[in-house]
Structures are given as C-alpha cells and as structure tokens.
Amino acid sequence: MFQFLIDALLRTADLALVTLGLSMLYGLVKFPNIAHVQYAMFGAYASYALHAAGAPLIGSLLIASVVTGILALGLHLLVFRRLLRAGPSISMVGSLAVSMLAIALMQGLAGSFPRMFKLGHTAPLTIAGAHISYTQFYFVCTTVVLLVLVTLLLFYTRLGRAMRALTNNAALANASGLNAERITFLVSFTSGMVAGLGGSMLSLSTGAHINLGNDLLLPVFAAAILGGLGNPMGAIAGALLIAVTETAVTNLNFGFLFGVDMKFLPVTYINAASFLILLLALLFKPYGLFDREVRRV
C-alpha cells in the first residue's frame, strides 16, 4: 500500500509543475497552449546538454529552466501575442503548429534516441518497505517546495493578488490600473521556467527524449481541465487525481476475475485512464471539479 502511495506521489510530481504552468498562463491569455508541454521536452534536452558539457547537475537544471522561461517568453512576444489578436481558437491551432515545429527541430538537432544522464548507480531509499531512488526523492521534494512557493506567491503577495484579479475579471483589473501586459510577460516566463524544470527533473529518470512532451500532453491537459483551467491550485489537485487513477490502473490486481493469483492491466492502459477521466470531466464538470472551491481559498 505504501508503495502505491509513493508511486502516485512520483506521478503527481511528473505532472504537477507542467500542469501548474499551463493553468497559470491560461488564466491570463485564455487559450490552451498545446506547445506548453514541449517546454518540458526542451528543458530536458537543455539540462542534458549542459550536464554533458561539464556543468554541475543542479546548475544544469537551473540554467535550463531559466533558458526555457526565456524561450516561452520569446514565443509569447513573437508568436502567441500576435495570434491572440485573431482569437483563442486560432491561437490554439497556432500553438499546435509551434509544438510540431519544436519536435521536428529538436529531433533534427538531437536525434530520436533518448539521452541518458550519467548519474551513477546508488541503492534505492527504503521507506516503510517502499522503494524510491534518491533522484526521485529529490524530485518530489523539489516539486513540493516549488508548489508551496507558488501558493505563497499567489495568496500572500501583491503580484499574486494582481494575477488572480486579472484571471477573474481582466476588464475590472485593467480599470484598476494593473499592468496586464507586464504581468502576462512575467507569468509566461515563469510558466516556461517551471515546465522546463519539471521536464529536466523528469529526464533524470527517463532520459531526455523526443516524445517527452507528447507523453505529458494528455495527462497534463486532463489534470488542468479537471482542476479548472486557469486555476493553479485546482491544477495541482487535478494532477494528484490523475496520478492516483493512473497508478491504480496499473497496480490493481484483477486476478480474482480470471481465477488466477495475479492479473494486471498493461502499462499502455495508463493513457486510456487519462482519456476516460478527461471525457468524464468534459461530460459532467466541464469547468473542473474544484473550480469554485479552490477560487474561494
């Protein structure tokens, strides 16, 4: 049972940072940026390249996340801000084009083979009989710290209050003198930086590979929609629900149904679980399970 909780926590860490950035940005620009998951892929390759060039591991992760933030801000200034003038639908289609271009460009530069970090082999950490590698443990701890910092930023700083005001009523916030454009630039940079860091840390376990962003696309959007698009706290809750569901799908023993001791669903059914949750959310709670509740926090 404790191993199940550890696995669910690890999967939450995989999704939470990328989902958080996507939801923060959606709250201001009001369109689902499909290219956002590719920031995670770019961050993974950037951190690998820096580490392979001799930079310390932590320095590689931090520099890669900042570079990814700059990339996200540059794309917003040069591409998405212009697309937004044509409406959210055009912007979403444009972000899909950007996503495809990013994959093609990275595949041309790095090839299709995964790039694995040379971290050495260490014995896993054992907690109450459950096993977790030190890399995964640090990943979870870093994610928790970042989520706490973002929560403090949103609810206990002037910038956070301005972001929430713009999300809830942009016209009224603008009339109150808030600089919406400057806040949007800052959130674009921050969301890209957080996604890049999430992808970098994820690549420590899985390696930097060309499908990293696409593998995150469905669960990240499902988590963001489940939590209420534009709602950062809801996005974290959505990521947790998606992670628990995916972990349950691959850990439940269905042997009793077939008269055998052990019978598990294939790992490929993880995507089916995300699809099912996304479909149910769109059918019954299209604005997310936690929309009103989390906004009142």
Is 125 a residue whose pLDDT tops 80?
no
Contacts of residue 135, Cβ cutoff 8 Å, sequence gap at least 6: 119, 204, 205
Q: How far apart, in whole angstroms, are the C-alpha atoms of residue 21 and residue 193? A: 8
- Which H or E run includes 131? strand 130-132
* Mean pLDDT, the chain, whole residue set: 84
Is 106 a residue whose pLDDT tops 80?
yes
Q: What percent of the chain has pLDDT over 90?
A: 24
> Computed from CA positions of residues 87, 213, 115, 13, in that sequence, does the dihedral angle turn out positive or negative?
positive
Is 61 a residue whose pLDDT tops 70?
yes
Which pLDDT band, with edges at 50, 70 and 90, does 257 fall under? confident
Is 17 a residue whose pLDDT tops 50?
yes
What φ, ψ does residue 77 adopt, rounded to 5°? -70, -40
Is 256 a residue whose pLDDT tops 80?
no
One-letter amino acid for residue 296 of the chain: R
Is 112 a residue whose pLDDT tops 90?
no
Q: Which residue has the higher pLDDT, 36 or 179?
A: 36
Structure tokens at 81: 């801000």
Q: Which residue has the higher pLDDT, 50 or 251?
A: 50
- DSSP letter, residue 31: S
The confidence score (pLDDT) of residue 110 equals 87
Q: What percent of the chain has pLDDT over 70?
A: 96
Q: How far apart, in whole angstroms, are the C-alpha atoms of residue 268 and residue 250? A: 9
Structure tokens at 261: 């001791």
Q: Are 46 and 196 in contact (CB under 8 A)?
A: yes
Mean pLDDT, rounded, for 167-180:
73
